[in-house]
């Protein structure tokens, strides 16, 4: 049963059944765009080059996970598969990738903090 509410001024408010996949596709496009921007950037110094490499390492690690696992997870959500299967798939992604992501992320943030301190840059790192 379709429970979507139609609004007179929004004729396209009906869902297509791929909304979760569309969200992941937008995130993939953002990641690809960000990788290109980082690759095309010219760091001001050797320290900046280290930051660039760490950032690329993190984004290039995450991109294939979005392109495969998260897109598959989104498809499961769009197909309204059982919640237990969706949760299991999500937990598998976390188990497989979270430790390496955390290491790469923390390493990048620490390097960024060191860079900011060394170059007297007033920056916030979420802490």
Per-residue pLDDT of the chain (127 residues; tens, 9 = 90+): 455 555 555 555 556 788 999 999 999 999 999 999 999 999 999 999 999 999 999 999 999 999 999 999 999 999 999 999 999 999 999 999 999 999 999 999 999 999 999 999 999 987 6
**Would you state the pLDDT for residue 10?**
54
**Would you state the pLDDT for residue 50?**
94
**Would you state the pLDDT for residue 3?**
56
**Would you state the pLDDT for residue 5?**
56
- Cβ burial 80-119 (10 Å sphere, 16+ → b, else e): eeeeeebeebeeeeeeebeeeeeebeeebeebbeebeeee
**Is 0.85 topped by the overall pTM?**
no
């Amino acid at each position: 049963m379709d429970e979507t509410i139609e609004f007179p001024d929004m004729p396209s408010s009906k869902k297509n059944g791929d909304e979760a996949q569309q969200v992941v596709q937008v995130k993939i496009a953002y990641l690809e765009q960000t990788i290109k921007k980082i690759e095309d950037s010219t760091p001001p110094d050797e320290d900046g080059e280290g930051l660039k490499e760490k950032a690329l390492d993190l984004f290039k690690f995450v991109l294939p996970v979005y392109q495969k696992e998260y897109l598959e997870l989104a498809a499961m959500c769009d197909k309204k598969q059982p919640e237990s299967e969706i949760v299991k798939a999500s937990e598998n992604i976390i188990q497989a990738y979270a430790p390496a992501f955390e290491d790469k992320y923390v390493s990048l943030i620490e390097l960024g903090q060191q860079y900011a301190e060394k170059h007297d840059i007033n920056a916030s790192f979420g802490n």
